[in-house]
Amino acid sequence: MTDPKAKILVVDDEEKNVKLMEAILLPRGYTIVTAFNGGEALEKVNDESPDLILLDVMMPVMNGFDVCKELKDDVDTQLIPIVIMTALGDINDRVKGIEAGADDFLTKPVNREELLARIQTSLRLKKTVERKVDKLRGAQDYLARFVPQSVKQQIEENPEAPQLEKSDQDMSALFVDVSGYTKLSEDMRQTADFVVEKYFSRFLDCIHAHEGDVTETSGDGLMVIFPGAAPEKHAVEATKAALEILQRTDDLNEQLNGIFEPISVHIGINSGVALLGPTKLEGTSGARWTYTALGPVINLAARIAGIAQGGTILVGPETARRIEREFSTREIGKKQLKNVRDEVMVYQVVGTAEDGMVST
Please state, rounded to an integer, the average pLDDT across all residues of the chain.
86
Interval 335-354: pLDDT, tens: 999 888 899 999 999 988 66
Interval 10-23: pLDDT, tens: 999 999 999 999 99
Interval 73-94: pLDDT, tens: 999 999 999 999 887 666 777 8
Query: What is the CATH number assigned to the segment(s) 7-144?
Result: 3.40.50.2300
Q: Indicate the domain borders of the chain.
A: 7-144, 164-355
* Fold that domain 164-355 belongs to in CATH: Alpha-Beta Plaits (3.30.70)
CA angle 9, 83, 46 (to 5 degrees): 35
Interval 272-282: pLDDT, tens: 999 988 776 77
CA angle 99, 103, 108 (to 5 degrees): 95
- pLDDT-derived band of residue 250, with 50, 70 and 90 as boundaries? very high
Is residue 54 within 8 A of residue 8, CB to CB? The reply is yes
Q: Which helix (H) or strand (E) holds 286?
A: strand 286-294
* Beta strands in 23-150, from DSSP E residues, in sequence order: 31-35, 52-56, 82-86, 104-107
Looking at per-residue pLDDT, the higher value among 287 and 171 belongs to: 171
Number of helices (H), then strands (E), in the chain: 11, 13
Output DSSP code: residue 159: T
pLDDT surpasses 90 at 290: no
Q: Which helix (H) or strand (E) holds 213?
A: strand 213-218
pLDDT surpasses 70 at 183: no
How confident is the model over 294-320, as a mean pLDDT? 95
Separation of alpha carbons 254 and 333, rounded Å: 33
How confident is the model over 198-211, as a mean pLDDT? 90
How confident is the model over 52-56, as a mean pLDDT? 96
- pLDDT-derived band of residue 360, with 50, 70 and 90 as boundaries? very low
Looking at per-residue pLDDT, the higher value among 279 and 213 belongs to: 213
The pLDDT, as a whole number, for residue 221 is 87
Separation of alpha carbons 113 and 32, rounded Å: 18
The pLDDT, as a whole number, for residue 331 is 95
The pLDDT, as a whole number, for residue 159 is 60
pLDDT surpasses 50 at 257: yes
The pLDDT, as a whole number, for residue 359 is 45
Q: Which amino acid is at 296?
A: P
